[in-house]
């Protein structure tokens, strides 16, 4: 059974860097085709894809946020870490990590999601 | 503004059939990239409902079905039930190497 869980600060100040950890079980991020993505959802708004990382360390970034994002994986500890710089109140959202896989060279559906972690950006 | 366009809301009475559209372009759905659908109940994480245009993960009732044609895709729900009241999102890939979600459609069961 695949599970994922997000962890990190619930409150960050403007201009700070947010660091979130996704700890997962039930799969290995060294298995061919497997990936983990981050998706966020501002209060009352739609889902927004941020970034994903694959088993082979290939990384895909949202073009609009690329300059602010970094993603790394720790395969031995089953974790993926998201860093987002220069946080702003508009970045207030629930942040989800989710399991995905690669199909014909492209990201596929996110089939298992974490419960999400709410991050508020405020001074 | 989402790359994939969905109607903000749809509604239907119990037992009825409703459809939710997802309109893209020749750089995503029209380019042949698969469409996936999610159901998000209030206060919960999204759940994968349909993957690869028309496939249901194990445990998803066959009342839910997906289809695709040209630059658009649709999610159909038959035999509408009160528990189907949720927000539904479509998702696809774009040739700009970006993953896109639709703006979401809130389904109200009357």
The answer to whether residue B48 neighbours chain A at the CB level (below 8 Å) is yes
Does the distance separating the beta carbons of A52 and B52 come in below 8 Å? no
Percent residues over pLDDT 90 in chain B:
93
Give the nearest chain A residue to B34 (CA atoms).
Answer: A108
Give pLDDT, residue A111.
Answer: 96
C-alpha distances out from residue A65 to A49, A70, A86, A94, Å: 10, 10, 11, 16
Percent helix / strand / coil, chain B, rounded to 5: 5, 50, 45
**pLDDT tens digits, one per residue of B42-61:** 999 999 999 999 999 999 99
Give the nearest chain A residue to B55 (CA atoms).
Answer: A109
Which one is predicted more confidently, B1 or B68?
B68
Give pLDDT, residue B97.
Answer: 85
Burial annotation A27-55 (CB, 10 A radius, 16+ → b, else e): bebeeeebbbbbbbbeeeebbbbbbbbbb
Instruction: Please compute the mean of the pLDDT values over residues B17-37 and round it to a whole number.
Output: 96
Contact A51, B97 (CB under 8 A): no
Does the distance separating the beta carbons of A62 and B89 come in below 8 Å? no
Q: Which residues of chain A have pLDDT under 70?
A: none
């Amino acid at each position: 059974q695949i599970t994922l869980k997000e962890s990190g600060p619930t409150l960050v100040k403007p201009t700070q860097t947010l660091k979130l950890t996704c700890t997962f079980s039930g799969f290995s991020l060294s298995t061919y085709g497997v990936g983990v993505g981050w998706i966020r959802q501002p209060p009352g708004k739609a889902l927004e894809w941020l970034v994903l990382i694959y088993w082979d360390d290939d990384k895909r970034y949202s073009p609009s946020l690329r300059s602010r994002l970094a993603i790394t994986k720790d395969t031995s500890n089953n974790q993926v870490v998201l860093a987002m710089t220069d946080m702003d109140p508009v970045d207030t959202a629930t942040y989800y990590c989710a399991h995905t896989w690669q199909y014909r060279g492209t990201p596929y559906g996110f089939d298992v999601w974490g419960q999400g972690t709410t991050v508020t950006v405020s001074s | 503004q989402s790359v994939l366009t969905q109607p903000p809301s749809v509604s239907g009475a119990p037992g009825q059939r409703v459809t939710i559209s997802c309109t893209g372009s020749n750089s995503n759905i029209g380019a042949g990239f698969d469409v996936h659908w999610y159901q998000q109940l209030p206060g919960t994480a999204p759940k994968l409902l349909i993957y690869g245009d028309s496939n249901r993960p194990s445990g998803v009732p066959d009342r839910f079905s997906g289809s695709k044609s040209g630059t658009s895709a649709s999610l159909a729900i038959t035999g509408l039930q009160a528990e189907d009241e949720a927000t539904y999102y479509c998702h696809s890939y774009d040739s700009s190497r970006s993953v896109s979600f639709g703006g979401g459609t809130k389904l109200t069961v009357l």
